[in-house]
Chain A
Amino acid sequence: MFYSEQKKQVSTYNRRTFFLFLLKLSLFTAVGWRLYNIQILDSSKYKTLSKKNQIDLEILFPIRGKIFDRNKILIANNEKVYDLYLIPENTKSINNTLNDLSKFIDIDFTKRRKIIDLSTKVKKFEKIKIFENISWSTLEKIETNKYKLEGIFIAEDYLRIYPYKEVFSHLLGYINKPNEKELALPFIAKMPNLDIGKQGLEQSFNPELVGKAGQREIEVNSYGRIIREISKIDSVKGKEVILSIDARVQEYAINLLQSHRAGSINVINIKTGEILCMASTPTYDPNKIIKKPNTEYWETILSNTLSPLTNRSIQGLYAPGSTFKMIVAIAALKYGIINAASTHSCTGKIEFGDRVYHCWKTNGHGKMDVTNAIKESCDVFFYEISKKLGIDKIAEVAEDFGLGKIFDISMSNQKKGIVPTKKWKKTTLGESWYAGETLISGIGQGFVLTNPFQLAVMTSIIASNGKIIEPSILKRDKINFQTNEKYSKEINIIKKAMFKVVNENKGTAFKSRIDDIKFAGKTGTSQVKTISLSERESDDFRKKEQEWKNRDHALFVGYIPHDDPQYAISVIIEHGGSGASTAAPIAKQIFSYINKLDI
């Protein structure tokens, strides 16, 4: 019994082993048949595929999205250019090809070395870009002699063009090759050679502007000629971006600024929060950065002590000077330090602690109420009220009006400035607050620092009776901002005063008034250098021609029309002298220009 079981097992086992071997043999036969098909029957087909033609993979770069101003005027465009490429594998000798090529285009020794160097590093069939953006005449010559130039081919490319040159440089930035860190960004996956935005809006809107890569599989013969396209997925163009900026105003503003060494002009549409103009000088031409070689241009930019790369509108920090007085006045009215009728007498200076605080008007303004103190920019009045207010209450109101804030306008590197408080000084400087510093802050000097754009937002909030303005760099339709009712009464008083600044005799900006459409505003002169007692006693220190870098910054903020405010402005001219003489006339010119336009 047991024996027969075992015998049965052995025979089952042998039988099945045999079958399994047969199964494996037949599977091997199937594989062998497959190989016979590929290697014998279809061999000639694969031989031609392998010998003559190679399958090449090409990433199709998307065209970068265009950027327009609010009226669809192109401010960042792409221009078709021609580049020259070399495929080392398709040349008999790179040197010979370069010799032939040098008849049509100049190749210096270092360039030649670089090309040969590069050719040893890349795969033989990979193309090397040897010339970028070649001229039409060279293109023609090379095209007609193409058959003589082994391994050389011409490809189309797009070059970013900024038709307005330096007018939009700070806003738009420029594009360049991504750096190591940027290569990890998801939107440029597969395209390490694609230029991307490096600064400004070109950078912020990279994800929208870049578009999507396409790809093409092509069969090329040994001369680099494309025989057949195997598959193609088109690239998707980058999205267009339409800005809130009006190119005409922007250009006009830059031109006005060009007559000074450095400055900034910002215009905001109060109803919509749209930024109509954000100009900063000195500026640079992004086209010259994009076109290689650019080292020389870079040198001039970097060696310029006024740092043309800085967008002063959001990165320049200045003491707001007297333009800060609106904030102090609103705070004093709000906290009952004064009412509209309260007066202080200005004798040209007050003494506080062991120091003397001067008014800009040496002989004093006499009896001043808040309206006149703003109109004539009396410093003593503001010393008096800020003394009673204390710094923390001033800071609270300043923040409600957008100072010390960073705005969601797709611009990185905004500097938020300083709205000082007692706590701020303790934590950052490790010192207690001195009462005298409150006085200095009350006229917008001392620790207070704002950027010009913040001042424009502040003015918009005042002009709109306390609307919480959310500025935008993109064109937007009407939007309803919420109103902060907290300061309605106080703003009303201040706006009347700001009207008088421009439109009444003795107002600091009276000379800059416009008669048909009236605007309101406030001048500011921000002190750069502390004036020593001896200088002050010489009495004519103001008349003396000072060295440029020691001169005061000139500021002006304002809005137009005064009765139904539409646009708010901030102007700052670095070391421009006084706000009344330098900044206010520029604001007037901008407002007059806007009035003529159909925006």
Chain B
Amino acid sequence: MILTKIKNLNYLLIFLLILLSFIGAAGLYSAADGSYNPWASRHLIRFYVFLLMAIVISVIDIKLIYKYTYLLFIFSVLLLISVEIIGVLGKGATRWIRVFGFSIQPSELVKITIILALAKFYHDIKFENIKKISFLFFPFLILIIPFAFVVIQPDLGTSLSIIMLGAFILFVAGVRIWKFLLGIMATIISIPIFLQYIKPYQRDRIISFLNPESDPLGQGYQLIQSKIALGSGGASGKGFLQGTQSYLEYLPEKQTDFIFTLIGEEFGFLGTTFIILIFILLIAVCYFISIKCFHTFGRILVLGVASNVFIYVFMNIAMVSGLMPVVGIPLPLISYGGSVMLSIMISMGLVLNVEINYNLKKLNNA
């Protein structure tokens, strides 16, 4: 039973994941001046542990996952709240919670349970009800509760990605277009109010994005250095381990949020477009699985996961290339950091699971 399931896994998807993790390891090896320590080795070990976990998730009975979706959602929100409480008690913003020696960022996990919860909700309701405004209340609740807690952390990047994720899922589920337009308008109107409440360092980031010269030493400095690294890479790059910007410690957070610039410097435009193409392929594979799937739960779940990956990738590259303010979003499977990798691999396990069970018609008689 399990063996047939494993035989039916989407190995193209798994191959793409392994490829990305290797690119990440190469980048991290270079970031450490040609050393597996401290990042590259741990990056790869983590990846294989999490890949194993993803395969375990993929063989779990999907009906069980469906059944306990809301419970998982509530649990993840509680984790998020506990981080907030610990943060308050410990005096200072925190995004991390330590579980069995691992640092976990509940805001990453909550994105998966949001996708799950929305998928279940749209699976359960009748199609004609989707158009009704009253049926927007519950999805709105699913989005706003975690959003609120992420905003007060404060984590600008993650709160922004929750909004985008919700918009993508609601759009695909069939919510009327004019409601989105209304939503966009409401967002634009609320920006000035929002600006009043964000922390000074976040306002600095937005200002430095709009005018990097205003703060060449702080946020603008990161951006200038990041662009120099990318641009000096040229078409084919300076070659592996030949980047100079990063060796000179000019690149801030080169192993996490700015790893893409390091790769861009060493492998050039070819390298950067190659990474983007792999991600497009990964997302396309998810879309095929989504279209193929018979049940709405699976469709929306997979599409949500694909959107989540897209948001990470798009925001990260847009950020380091100066299209977007620096908001602190890593590049999945390439940046160093366990929390995001864990969340991505859990969601990939779910995608693999959906593909195995794509032809199920009913999910609620488990």
Contacts and interface: CB of A to CB of B under 8 A. Distances in A.
Interface of A: 5-6, 8-9, 12-14, 16-17, 20-21, 24-25, 27-28, 30-32, 34-36, 38-40, 42-43, 45-47, 49-51, 54-55, 57, 123-125, 215, 217, 230-231
A37 B47 CA distance: 33
Contacts of B279: 28
B234 A34 contact: no
A38 B284 contact: no
Contacts of A49: 228, 231-232
A55 B224 CA distance: 10
A50 B234 CA distance: 11
A338 B352 CA distance: 107
A31 B248 contact: no
Given A36-B269, A43-B233, 11 more contacts: A5-B126, A5-B128, A8-B127, A9-B174, A17-B287, A20-B168, A20-B307, A32-B276, A34-B323, A40-B269, A50-B244
A36 B233 CA distance: 11
B283 to A, nearest CB: 7
Contacts of A8: 127
A17 B172 contact: yes
A217 B216 contact: yes
Given A28-B314, A35-B273, A39-B269, A17 B303 contact: yes
13 contacts: A17-B172, A32-B273, A35-B269, A35-B272, A35-B273, A35-B276, A36-B269, A39-B234, A47-B232, A49-B231, A50-B229, A50-B245, A55-B228
A12 B127 CA distance: 10
A16 B250 contact: no
A38 B323 contact: no
Interface residues of chain A: helix, strand, loop or mixed (majority) = helix
Contacts of B128: 5
A35 B264 contact: yes
Contacts of A45: 231
Given A14-B291, A17-B303, A28-B280, A51 B172 contact: no
Given A39-B264, A43-B232, A50-B232, A20 B172 contact: yes
A13 B174 CA distance: 7
B153 interface: no
A8 to B, nearest CB: 7
Give me the 7 closest cross-chain CB pairs, A-B, nearest first: A46-B231, A50-B232, A39-B269, A9-B127, A43-B234, A46-B232, A38-B231
Contacts of B217: 57, 215, 217, 231
Given A9-B174, A39-B235, A31 B276 contact: yes
Contacts of A30: 323
Contact of B280 (A25, A39, A57): A25
Nearest to B264: A39
B321 A38 contact: yes
B255 interface: no
B235 A43 contact: yes
A229 B201 CA distance: 26
Contacts of A124: 248
B290 interface: yes
A90 to B, nearest CB: 13
A21 B235 CA distance: 28
B310 interface: yes
A32 B314 CA distance: 10
Given A51-B244, A57-B217, A13 B269 contact: no
B321 A46 contact: no
Nearest to B271: A39
B232 A55 contact: no
Nearest to B127: A9
B124 interface: no
Contact of B230 (A14, A38, A217): A38
Contact of A47 (B127, B173, B234, B290): B234
Contacts of B228: 46, 49-50, 55
Nearest to B323: A34
Contacts of B231: 38-39, 42-43, 45-47, 49-50
Given A43-B235, A125-B248, A17 B174 contact: no
B227 interface: yes
B339 to A, nearest CB: 24
Contacts of B287: 17, 21
Contacts of A123: 248-249
Interface in B198-231: 213, 216-217, 221, 224-225, 227-231
A39 B171 CA distance: 35
A32 B303 CA distance: 23
Nearest to B265: A50
B58 to A, nearest CB: 22
Contacts of A40: 234-235, 269
B52 interface: no
B235 A16 contact: no
Contacts of B264: 35, 39
A76 to B, nearest CB: 32
Contacts of A231: 213, 216-217
A105 to B, nearest CB: 29
Given A31-B323, A215-B217, A20 B171 contact: yes
B268 interface: yes
A50 B268 CA distance: 14
B136 to A, nearest CB: 16
